[in-house]
Amino acid sequence: MSAETTQFDAVVIGSGPGGEGAAMQLVKNGRRVAMIEKYASLGGGCTHWGTIPSKALRHSVSRLIEFNANPLFTAGCGHRSMSFADILRHAQGVIQQQVQMRSGFYQRNGVTVLHGVASFEGENKLKLTQADGSVDYITTKQIVIATGSRPYRPADVDFNHARIYDSDTVLSLKHEPRSIIIYGAGVIGCEYASIFRGLGVKVDLINTRERLLSFLDAEISDALSYHLRNSGVVIRHNEEYERIEGHEDGVTLYTQSGKRLDADCLLYANGRSGNIEELKVENVGLQPNHRGQLEVSAQYQTSVANIYAVGDIIGYPSLASAAYDQGRICATAMCFGDCEQRLISDIPTGIYTIPEISSVGKTEEELTQQKVPYEVGRAHFKDLARAQISSMAVGSLKLLFHRETKEVLGIHCFGERAAEIIHIGQAIMEQKHGGNTIEYFVNTTFNYPTMAEAYRVAALNGLNRIRD
């Protein structure tokens, strides 16, 4: 096929949440838009390798644990077991549903979808190299880079070895490991530690830092450590590898402190890098940082006026939910020269360990450092009727609020459905002009029995601490 040149108003590179948000907003504002996706299926890393598959895996394992812990179901039939391959098949079904839905968005809205690898020929010209080697050229007024990120791969680790994985390739795991070393105890490492341990696999979790997920409120971080250890995960803090050796039937990791760890396989989950190399951004004068990320303005504009970037390729907060919002804000700025909307200052975090974690706002450590006079209100799930009915007694809700104004400053939830429960409090935190106070949770009426009732219990607990 000979090279052809096609003209668009805007081209978005990468069909993850950031790219999708930008493309939809651009086309709804009358722009002629093309979406370039490297892979055969739409959805990006979020759909195929990150958020969707890992959360589908986690859900299946969590339900398995819940089933096996309930004597009502296990009496007379013993415990059920599942293989990693079994639950991967379920995840693949979810992925296909997501791909079909997202493909429909582009078709209905008239976005031209092109498959291939995009690279810059100039500020307004892209080269599209397709899987069969054929080349087309695209000219466009504006470009959005939304190519996402991939797991960081240090050069001294052999990722071609059949027993050494990263968080992308682990989704093709075929054998049934009895033991696994997970190197890196960030969000991804902790989530997979929960998943594998829930399947009965022995887990060594290697943390290069002093405590798990140090950005969390310390009490929540401690709770996660306790429950991972209580489930049988061995956590090793302040450790770094010296070398990793793959064998025919397993992997050996040697630490810089002199330890030797052996397991059937290893998951390397320590850091991510921006997908920047194939773009050849140097052709337009862009300089990514050492992590392959681009610097952008508040409007997501790069140093080249007509080129924008959103999502993991710009770094923080590296969340699918935030990337979609970034795409919409970016597209509005591209159409109108400015966008008043910004990402909210308090972005909620959802961490899909077992049990689940979600937080929004300040931690106790931050408030103490800032010398804010705060108080704490707590509700333990074991005291809630809905949690007792559902056998979800593990967990708690913690409200941090200003002692004088009663303003809610931070919300931290640990336990099943935490990432859902957090949004009730987040909605109140976002209220302005005196609407954000802990007293809302006391004065409103919650359905009973519900997990949401934890807010009333926690608010009363906190207010009781400051009454004279």
How far is residue 205's CA from residue 253's CA, in Å, rounded to a whole number? 12
190 is in an annotated binding site: yes
Residue 43 labeled ligand binder: yes
On whether 385 is known to bind a ligand per the annotation, the reply is no
| 6 in a labelled binding site | no
> Is 198 annotated as a binding-site member?
no
- Residue 311 assigned ligand-binding role: no
40 carries a ligand binding annotation: yes
Show the tokens assigned to 64.
């398995």
- Which tokens in the block code for residue 372? 């804010």
Residues 6+ positions from 280 with CB-CB distance below 8 Å: 119, 120
Is 184 annotated to bind a ligand? Reply is yes
Alpha carbon separation from 283 to 12, 244, 308, 460 (Å, rounded): 18, 37, 15, 60
Query: Residue 261's Cα: distance from chain center in Å?
Result: 28
Tell whether 148 is in a known binding site.
Answer: yes
Tell whether 358 is in a known binding site.
no
152 belongs to an annotated ligand binding site: no
List 357's β-bridge partners, or say none.
351, 414
Give 3-state DSSP helix, strand, coil % of the chain, rounded to 5. 35, 25, 40
37 is in an annotated binding site: yes
Residue 44, annotated ligand binder? yes
Any known ligand binding at 16?
no
In the 8-state DSSP scheme, what is residue 123? T
**How many CB atoms lie under 10 A from the CB of residue 340?**
8
Query: Does the annotation list 42 as a binding residue?
Result: yes
Residue 191 marked ligand-binding: yes
Q: Which long-range contacts (CB under 8 A, 24 or more apart) does 361-366 make?
A: 361/400, 361/408, 361/409, 361/410, 361/411, 361/429, 362/400, 362/409, 362/410, 363/216, 363/217, 363/218, 363/400, 363/410, 363/412, 364/217, 364/218, 364/219, 364/400, 364/410, 365/217, 365/218, 366/410
What token pair was written down for 226?
Answer: 């306790």
User: Locate tokens 């052809």: which residue?
Assistant: 4
187 is in an annotated binding site: yes
Residues flagged as binding site: 37-46, 55, 147-149, 184-191, 271, 312
Q: Give the annotated binding-site residues for FAD.
A: 37-46, 55, 147-149, 312
Q: Which residues are known binding-site members for NAD(+)?
A: 184-191, 271
